[in-house]
Structure 1
Amino acid sequence: MIRRCGVARPKPWEVDDDLWAVIEPLLPRVERRARHPGRKRHPDRLVFQGILFVLHTGIAWEHLPQELGFGSGMTCWRRLAEWTKVGVWPRLHEVLLAKLRSANALDFSRAAVDGSHIRAFKGGSKTGRSPVDRGRTGSKHHLITDATGIPLAATLTGGSRNDVTQLIPLLEAVPPVRGKRGRPRHRPDVVLGDRGYDHDKYRRLVWDLGVKPQIARRGTEHGSGLGKQRWVVERAFAHLHWFRRLRIRWEIRDDIHEAFLSLACSIICWRRLKKLRPL
């Protein structure tokens, strides 16, 4: 526990009962064999906390502190890969978005998009020479948020990929968000983008999805007013990269890094939900 002003606060990787009640039903059940059961499986909740510990601190798997009870770093990595394969993280994000919509905390009147470069020291798929980092190998996070800065979807590409090429994939990556009567909400009314998204071809494609593009034009003076609404996505990136494991890509496997990215989006959603109504 962390103590501030005499009040004990849970550490960021500790999973309370309310969050675990959301996560546990999404995890696959593994029945222990009756014959030759082998070593008892480490508890999922402790392993999940170990994964969160790595996400928060950026520590290498092999340095995961054994005394905290998470299990070995290899155990946590294997469980992360296992849960990633069956799609736990997108479903967790979708469930939390539905809870936020049910609490009237999601604003689909507009969405904001942006991209952010990170280094990828070990290479791997979805990496490339970064034009903003002297051609070093890197990847790029692409993010779309609602009008208040809640992450709706995030994608990973090579560091050389242009932002505008990810505009349609980002809009299509937004899951159908339930939480209210009627059809799930799947698209924002308006999407906001900076000059990196200025391309008439992609404006037409956005219109085809039933979304109004509101994108700054290249060659025009600053002061379009979009910054007063777009800043929420930049703040969301600050929140994402507060998770140290996302500041630098250490994973060769792109699906493992994407798992961390999706999990971080879910944690941000959970924190917003907790602020709305302490659970």
Structure 2
Amino acid sequence: MFDCVIAALVHGSGYERVAVPGCSDRTIRRRLQEWAQAGVSKALLRTALAGYDRMLGLELDDLCVDGSITKSPCGGEVSGRSPVDRGKQGTKRSVVTDAGGLPLHLVAAAAGAHDSPLLEPTLAGVPDAVGPLPATACVHLDAGYDSGKTRDLLHLLGYEHRIATKGKPSPIQVGKRWVVERTHSWMNGFGKLRRSTDKQRVTVEFFLFLAAAITVARRLINTARTHYRWDTRPTTRRLR
């Protein structure tokens, strides 16, 4: 059952196409709904982050937040007119990462939602995922967050901040926030995230957190292989 869910996530295929004898598309949908409501993928992400932190250490002194818009042609609870795709239906995901680009928490919203209002719920899930943050944790943001409201929110939450200024070219003031762009690129490697056909928020976020957990596991293996040796240690950086 889980193999079919992974196949749907990676390839973006319909459940009818990944169904196998003994596991119909209806069964996949039913089980997927049960796992989503139980928060299974969120628990997997917490487990993956805990393993990474124990073996290599998370870099929580600097956090990066940004949003990315993808397609959702079937509409749904987290779908809306996309401002970057001729008004077609799209979904936005807001992601917060550590300084190494590991996804810590994610929030799904309609494509037309502005990044700034999504900042608070995105940051709110970080302590649950990784525990207490350093007192000097700094949040790095692009110019889309450049407002007094954002600065007041970060001050209230106890974060330091580095926000790009509107009107200045991005390459000059990228700073440490480029890693979140790379994380979005990693997550766009999953077909289900590039083109979501699920309509319920709980299912969309299930796949978001599952993709994040796999991303962390891949980074753990690729980074740990240069520090540790084990019997099944991969001989290449390209993991499938």
- Normalised TM-score (structure 2): 0.87
State yes or no: 1:242 paired with 2:194. Answer: no
Corresponding residue to 1:133 among 85, 89, 96: 85
Using CA pairs below 8 Å that are at least 6 residues apart, which structure has the higher relative contact order? 2
Alignment partners' CA distance in 1, 2:27 and 2:214: 22
The amino acid of 1:265's aligned partner reads A
Corresponding residue to 2:168 among 206, 220, 229: 220
1:201–1:50 Cα change, 3 Å: same
Q: Secondary structure at the match of 1:160?
A: coil
Alignment partners' CA distance in 2, 1:96 and 1:127: 29
- Deviation at residue 175 of structure 1 after TM alignment: 3.9
The amino acid of 2:92's aligned partner reads K
Q: Which residue of 1 aligns with 2:238?
A: none
Q: Which residue of 2 aligns with 1:203?
A: 151
Q: Which residue of 2 aligns with 1:185?
A: 132
**Largest Rg, 1 or 2:** 1
- Deviation at residue 105 of structure 1 after TM alignment: 2.8
Q: Which residue of 2 aligns with 1:58?
A: 12
Q: Deviations over 1:219-273 (max 9, x none)?
A: 2344443x24222111111110101111012111121111101100000111122
- Deviation at residue 121 of structure 1 after TM alignment: 0.9
State yes or no: 1:114 paired with 2:62. Answer: no
- Normalised TM-score (structure 1): 0.76
Contact 2:78 2:199 (8 Å CA) reproduced:
no
The amino acid of 1:50's aligned partner reads C
Unmatched segments (≥5 aa) in structure 1: 1-46, 179-183
State yes or no: 1:124 paired with 2:76. Answer: yes
- Superposed, which structure 2 residues align to 1:1-279 within 5 Å? 47-66=1-20, 71-177=23-129, 184-186=131-133, 189-225=137-173, 227-275=174-222, 276=224, 277=228
| Alignment size in residue pairs | 225
Alignment partners' CA distance in 2, 1:53 and 1:267: 13
Q: Which residue of 2 aligns with 1:42?
A: none
User: Could you tell me the percent identity over the aligned residues?
Assistant: 34
